[in-house]
Amino acid sequence: MNAADPELTKPRPGAGLSPGLTIRLPKPPKAQGLFGQFRALVRSSEVLLVFIAALIGCAAGAAVTLMSQTAQLSHMFFFRIALDQHLSAVDHVTPWMALSAPVIGGLCIGLIELWRRHSNARVAVDPVEANALRGGRMSLRDSLVVSLQTLISNGCGASVGLEAGYTQIGSGLASRLGMMLRLRRNDLRIMVGCGAAGAIAAAFGAPLTGAFYAFELIIGVYSIANVASVTAAAVTAVLTATALGGAPYALNVAPVLAVKPLHYLPLMGIGLVAAAIGVGVMRATDLMDRGFKATPLPLWARPAVGGLMIGGLALITPQVLAAGHGAMKLDLTLDMTMKALAFLIAIKLLAALISLGSGFRGGLFFASLFVGALLGKLGGQIYHHALTSWNIDPTACVLTGMGVFAVAVVGGPLTMSFLVLETTGDFGVTAPVLAACVITSLAVRETFGYSFSTWRLHLRGETIRSAADIGWMRQLTVGKLMRRDPRTIPASATVAEFRRRYPLGSTHMVVVLDDQERYAGLLATAELFSTDLDDKADTAVSDRLHQRDIALLPDWNVKEALAAFDRAEAETLAVIESEDTGAVIGLLTEKFATRRYAEELDKANREAMGGE
């Protein structure tokens, strides 16, 4: 310590400390240099947070442009297509190119995974998990690796989209910047949402779509506290991408005829079909993953084998390659039979499942839009034959299918509805699409309960259903809430001995231990002083035990503890070290756990809604 700086040091209070021990107080912003002053300003100013969000949007827009153009160059190199041509829209692919390119890409993905395992690298955290469990904290290095894997996967023709890489790098950059500025937990979560909003907005040239993608899927709430920052990021991302070459996934759809109220029900019917297929796809992803793991193939070889299978499907139709942006534009204008549409839906979904199950990296956002558009076109043809007099516009069916299938897999009914609005500029068709999207979302929630991103997390052992912040709940554990000085008594003790050791009013609950010092049950002090036991003072207290087989573990979170209280119908439960040892380390009451849970929940809600 520098004795010449008395204002920066002072004695630390408290017993047991050595004389003269000092601590260093935080330096004032002026003493931390220009960056420290700027950091302090950002933490105290919403306007500067919006400015930071706009910078994040610019970075996300530039990253989207760089990744999309790199993927297009890869398609040109591997498949010998023109610069202005989309891979999935070509008439045919040379067999050796179709088979070799995905295999080469698969080998690259496999080697990267082998390196990650060898170096004990952590599992990459995506924006949903980061905001739900980690307060917005992401590793930029891991995000770069995921984005590189996504780029390789799409660039070699695997049936996945780049949008997962877009959002990963956008959110990763935002998280790193937020951590450098030492933003508060809720502000950091909003910045991660800004990165994702900018990425999706830049990809589709749709700022409202990007903003509501962040609200619904990444932040988990729409509030005054986050609307300005997220909107700024989405708008600046679109402007940046436009200046650098345009949105890679921009959609153009023919004008839609007037949609009548009578048409809402058939369009909602497409949504229910999409919900069923979407749930099936998500479950099939797990089955495909298990299938590849069950083979004797080493980890590094699985993507290459999956790539060979994708190449075989590409020989049937190149529309299975990459995300399907070119194929979607092509198919919307073609006159196709119902049989051809059903076949394309099946083969595209199969290619996507093989890609993800074998280990390729990527998203299903645009693939869902493509499959949904085909599903809507198929539904339009069915309605044309079955409901001739209704005059349902086929384009309205295509737009509905596009939105509802993406909702079934990705989630976000408002996000997909705004995508339709920004694609068509037609409020008339947006209303029925929104209605169908809401029905689809409700059906998926009731029958399945997950989106594709949360389903993948569920398969890893997580229980989150959205990006809503529950990290604070994970940190509020039984071990932190419990009282650590439980009163104990042997199970062999008598009622008289209990009364001598614990007079009435000395304690509310006593823990009973067996002859091996393991938890045996609980005794209520008032019950042992009942007049009914005056004549039974010599009986063992073990005959009066409560909650014999029910106890809490210290690593349980508060929600799990409250559920245990509810199941046990008890007001107090013991906390044991582990099920193996059975050693009692504390007591917890339902009243205290409920109060602390309510306090933290109220605090989290105030922060999310912009309160103080």
For the segment 303-327, what is each residue's pLDDT rounded down to a tens digit? Answer: 999 999 999 999 999 999 999 989 9
Beta-carbon contacts of 545 under 8 Å, excluding residues fewer than 6 positions away, are 491, 512, 520, 521, 522, 523
Q: What SS3 state is found at 519?
A: strand
- Cβ burial, residue 114 (10 Å; 0-12/13-18/19+): middle
Over the stretch 477-521, which tens digit does the pLDDT of each residue have?
898 889 888 889 998 888 888 888 988 888 888 999 988 889 988
Q: What SS3 state is found at 217?
A: helix
pLDDT above 90 as % of the chain:
53
Q: Where are the domains of the chain?
A: 6-38, 46-244, 261-466, 472-608
Contact call for residues 268 and 436 (beta carbons, < 8 A): yes
Q: What SS3 state is found at 510?
A: strand
Mean pLDDT to the nearest integer, 401-407: 96
> Between 547 and 216, where is the model more confident?
216
Return mean pLDDT, the chain: 87
Over the stretch 71-126, which tens digit does the pLDDT of each residue have?
999 999 999 998 888 999 999 899 999 999 999 999 999 999 889 888 887 788 88
Residue 8 pLDDT greater than 60, yes or no: no
Lowest mean pLDDT among 162-171, 326-335, 593-602: 593-602
Over the stretch 458-474, which tens digit does the pLDDT of each residue have?
777 766 766 665 666 67
Measured distance CA(392)–CA(173) in Å, rounded: 45
Which of 430, 493, 476, 438 shows the shortest CA–CA distance to 597? Answer: 476
Mean pLDDT to the nearest integer, 422-446: 92
Sign of dihedral through CA atoms 213, 87, 287, 376?
Answer: positive
Third-level CATH fold of 261-466: Clc chloride channel (1.10.3080)
pLDDT value, residue 546? 85
Per CATH, 46-244 and 261-466 having the same topology is answered yes
Mean pLDDT to the nearest integer, 50-71: 96
Helix (H) or strand (E) holding 379: helix 365-386
Strand partners, 521: 512
Backbone angles phi, psi at 10, to 5 degrees: -160, 155
> Between 359 and 124, where is the model more confident?
359
Over the stretch 160-199, which tens digit does the pLDDT of each residue have?
999 999 999 999 999 999 999 988 888 999 999 999 999 9
Measured distance CA(478)–CA(491) in Å, rounded: 25
Rounded to 5°, the CA angle 188-193-194 comes to 95
pLDDT value, residue 28? 61
Q: State pTM to two decimals.
A: 0.80
Third-level CATH fold of 472-608: CBS-domain (3.10.580)
Contact call for residues 588 and 580 (beta carbons, < 8 A): no
Residue 603 pLDDT greater than 80, yes or no: no
Rounded to 5°, the CA angle 375-377-383 comes to 100
Would you place residue 132 in the very low, low, confident or very high pLDDT band (cuts 50, 70, 90)? confident
Beta-carbon contacts of 202 under 8 Å, excluding residues fewer than 6 positions away, are 57, 60, 61, 64, 65, 166, 210, 237, 238, 240, 241, 247
**Domain 46-244 in CATH: superfamily?**
Clc chloride channel (1.10.3080.10)
Residue 31 pLDDT greater than 80, yes or no: no
Based on DSSP, count helices (H) and strands (E) in the chain, helices before strands.
Answer: 24, 7
pLDDT value, residue 449? 86
Tokens of 385: 């034959």
Would you place residue 18 in the very low, low, confident or very high pLDDT band (cuts 50, 70, 90)? very low
> Between 75 and 254, where is the model more confident?
75
| CB half-sphere exposure, 272, CA atoms < 13 A | 6
Measured distance CA(23)–CA(57) in Å, rounded: 41
